[in-house]
Structure 1
Amino acid sequence: MESQQSSPSLASYHQESRRPLASLAFVIPILLIYEVGGLMLGPQAMRNAADGWLRELLRFLGLGQYFLLPLLTCAILLGWHHLSGQVWRVASGVVSAMWVESAALAAILVIGARGLPGLLFAAQSEPDLTGTWLDQCISFMGAGIYEELLFRLMLLPAAVGFFRFTGVPLSTAVILAVVSTSLLFSAAHYDWFLTAGEPFEVSSFIFRTLAGGFFSGLFLWRGFGIAVGTHALYDIFVTAL
């Protein structure tokens, strides 16, 4: 989806990479890896809570086809880009640079996590995942896509709108929305909501809430694609260490 125009400058890259169309071009390979990998792995494929909830909602609405969720993800980004009124092209080099930026931000998050008390860092990884490292990487692609889709692309703007409706200033609404959705993001990893989730621990709950705030900041500042890439690569980096 990248055009053959000259590579963007740093300033234009910062703006270009935030656009929904660039995010779509960036996340399509991640979606393909996760969805095709999930089909190949079959019932033993590791799914995250956000993926399960979104598919259950679609099934409840009578829309249970397997590939409907990734297609709707693409449709949301296309609709967002259409409403933004921006040009329908992605400059050459933007998607590649987004991978580099996501890897750098994921590494920064890993380094920052190591600076926290040892218990927090020890609790940050995904709970007792089985299977090969490749299986886990496929699962982390899904976490990057669908947790960011649910908690950042869908719930965060909805929460901002709700708090604005209550009459609070925009800046306060954004802060409250980030905090509330980050708490929900953290809670989604435990056995309260997920049979394969881990038992609740204060340390891991705090860490994941902070991570949710970090990903929310990325979504607001750098866009959906960078938030997805950073989330997925962070999980992969932690598992590889």
Structure 2
Amino acid sequence: MSTAVVNTAEKSPARDSAELAGEGTEYWEQTRRPFPCLLFLAPLLVLYEFGVLWLGGNDAAMLRNAADSWVRGMLYDVGLRHMFALPVIVAGLLLLWNFYGYFDWRCRADTLLGMAAESVLFAFVLVILGQVIEVLFRGAGMATISVAAGPAAAGHSEVSATILPRALAFVGAGIYEEVLFRLLLLPAFYLGFRAMQAGVLGSTILAVLASSLAFSLAHYVGPAGESIVPFTFLFRTLAGIFFATLFFARGFGITVGAHAVYDLIVGVLLAGSRGEF
């Protein structure tokens, strides 16, 4: 009799609901941990790094986006000149973050699938945001152009003129722009504002704004920089805020995924119908 009671309790709807809630909480926590983020990003890093070498050949550097080139330039200046130094450092940072943060090293396979689905979802949210801002600008009689959050990502020469190299370059933009502006600059700005005696909330808000403005301005500097247009500047600033919010709420992996998918949608899928961005 007691066994029957136990079996009934084990199969009760209340227990099933508790298990589902526990799985949902576990997924939410895993997606924000550095190690699952690294597992999620590893295929993108391998695809991008080896794809650049394969498609670019002697012109491989021309396929790299501005953020990638800037960070590699800094590493080159300090003597780290190996072509795989940057991805190894990114992987090392995430591993150290997971180790010294005392995070769990477990990661379920369905967690990675969920991160991919969220990346696509948030990418489409940003596409819709861009459409809304475009409608508002046109309603005010102001000029608009099609825009990707990661411009200059398509390289600086004819080597990136075809679809495959362009797509590869946008994947690189999603990775290394997020490495630079969210993984590195956002915490640096936060610590800087905290050092200036700003509160936790104030430092967070100021760090998000500062890193987002830097993200937008970066698209207008250098040889491949664009001319500043109010529409693109505003949208890229808002995109920076969007990605920074994702970084805090959903973790680094989903942020990179959303950025890469967004750039692929706007820079590849929609570029043919709307012209260059």
TM-score scaled by length of structure 2: 0.80
Q: Residues 5-60 of structure 1: CA distance to partner in whole angstroms, max 9, x if unpaired?
A: xx983222111100000100010111111111110122164222110111011110
For residues 128 and 23 of structure 1, the distance between their equivalents in structure 2, rounded to whole angstroms, comes to 22
| 2:244 aligns with one of 216, 221, 239 | 216
Q: Residues 123-180 of structure 1: CA distance to partner in whole angstroms, max 9, x if unpaired?
A: 4233594422221111111111110001000110111011001001110000000001
**CA RMSD, aligned part only?**
1.9
| 2:193 aligns with one of 163, 166, 175 | 163
Higher helix share: 2
Q: Residues 70-89 of structure 1: CA distance to partner in whole angstroms, max 9, x if unpaired?
A: 00000000000001112222
Shift of 1:182: 0.5
Letter in 2 for 1:113: G
1:9 maps to what in 2?
Answer: 23
1:122 aligned to 2:145?
yes
For residues 104 and 217 of structure 2, the distance between their equivalents in structure 1, rounded to whole angstroms, comes to 38
For residues 50 and 81 of structure 2, the distance between their equivalents in structure 1, rounded to whole angstroms, comes to 17
2:122 maps to what in 1?
Answer: 105
Letter in 1 for 2:110: G
1:133 aligned to 2:156?
no
Letter in 2 for 1:116: I
1:202 maps to what in 2?
Answer: 230
1:183 maps to what in 2?
Answer: 213
For residues 145 and 98 of structure 1, the distance between their equivalents in structure 2, rounded to whole angstroms, comes to 15
For residues 153 and 63 of structure 2, the distance between their equivalents in structure 1, rounded to whole angstroms, comes to 11
For residues 181 and 128 of structure 2, the distance between their equivalents in structure 1, rounded to whole angstroms, comes to 24
Shift of 1:121: 6.3
| 1:20 aligns with one of 1, 17, 34 | 34
Q: Say if 1:163 and 1:234 are closer, same or farther in 2 by CA, change over 3 A.
A: same
Letter in 2 for 1:57: M
Q: Point out the more displaced range, 223-232 or 194-203.
A: 194-203
Maintained 8 Å contact 2:34/2:94: yes
1:91 maps to what in 2?
Answer: 108
Name which one, 1 or 2, has greater alpha-carbon Rg.
Answer: 2
Q: Point out the more displaced range, 9-18 or 229-238.
A: 9-18
For residues 133 and 172 of structure 2, the distance between their equivalents in structure 1, rounded to whole angstroms, comes to 26
Q: Residues 84-136 of structure 1: CA distance to partner in whole angstroms, max 9, x if unpaired?
A: 11222212311111001100110111112111134586342335944222211
1:40 maps to what in 2?
Answer: 54
For residues 197 and 117 of structure 1, the distance between their equivalents in structure 2, rounded to whole angstroms, comes to 21
| 2:71 aligns with one of 54, 65, 73 | 54
Maintained 8 Å contact 2:120/2:257: yes
Q: Displaced runs of 4+ in structure 1, greater than 6 A?
A: none
Q: Point out the more displaced range, 197-206 or 22-31.
A: 197-206
1:67 aligned to 2:84?
yes
Q: Say if 1:128 and 1:60 are closer, same or farther in 2 by CA, change over 3 A.
A: closer
| 1:79 aligns with one of 88, 96, 113 | 96
Structure possessing the higher relative contact order (Cα contacts under 8 Å, 6 or more residues apart): 1
Letter in 1 for 2:206: L
Q: Point out the more displaced range, 148-157 or 125-134.
A: 125-134
Give unpaired runs (5+ residues) of structure 1: 1-6
Q: Point out the more displaced range, 130-139 or 118-127.
A: 118-127
